[in-house]
Amino acid sequence: MNKIQKIITFALTILFAAGIANAFGYFRSSDMYDFVGMPGFGMFVGFGFVAMAIGILLFLFWLWMLVDCLKRDFKKDYEKIVWVLVVIFLHILGAVIYYFVVKVEEKKAGKEKKK
């Protein structure tokens, strides 16, 4: 990983940890989250941060798999069309399927060629 990826990973980890700590009441020792007479509002804010971080990471994973699928040279022309449609229409599930069927198999084949 290069330096920028490490910084982004560190920042997202800190955001994720703060969101979880906030969600379970770590920062609620005072009335800091008592907005407009709504005690316990901080719990929902914390869950929102966690959900937002997970959603962003899942979207980035989906986008990474879609770009990889569009750039990859498949053996047959129709394979690219099928994989693009699978990734687009099945969203995260399609990206996970693509990752395990194509990307992991490519890594295994690359390791076997080196031996």
Number of domains in the chain: 1
Phi, psi of 33 (to 5 degrees): -105, 20
CB atoms within 10 A of CB 104: 11
Q: Is 99 exposed, middle or buried (0-12, 13-18, 19+ CB in 10 A)?
A: middle
pLDDT, position 46: 65
- The pLDDT tens digits of the residues spanning 22-48 come to 666 666 655 555 554 555 555 666 677
Averaged pLDDT for residues 46-66: 86
Give, for 109, the enclosing helix (H) or strand (E): helix 104-114
Which three-class secondary structure string do you get for 34-92?
CECCECCHHHHHHHHHHHHHHHHHHHHHHHHHHHHHHHCCCCCHHHHHHHHHHHHHHHH
Q: Which residues form the domain of 64?
A: 3-114
Running DSSP on this structure, what letter comes out for residue 100?
I
CA–chain centroid gap for 59, Å, is 6
Average pLDDT value over all residues in the chain:
80
Segment 62-75 shows an average pLDDT of 92
pLDDT in tens, 97-112: 999 999 888 777 777 7
Q: What is the pLDDT of residue 16?
A: 78
pTM of the prediction? 0.61
Give residue-wise pLDDT tens across range 75-98: 888 999 999 999 999 999 999 999
Contacts of 62 by beta carbon, 8 Å cutoff, 6+ apart: 87, 91, 92, 95
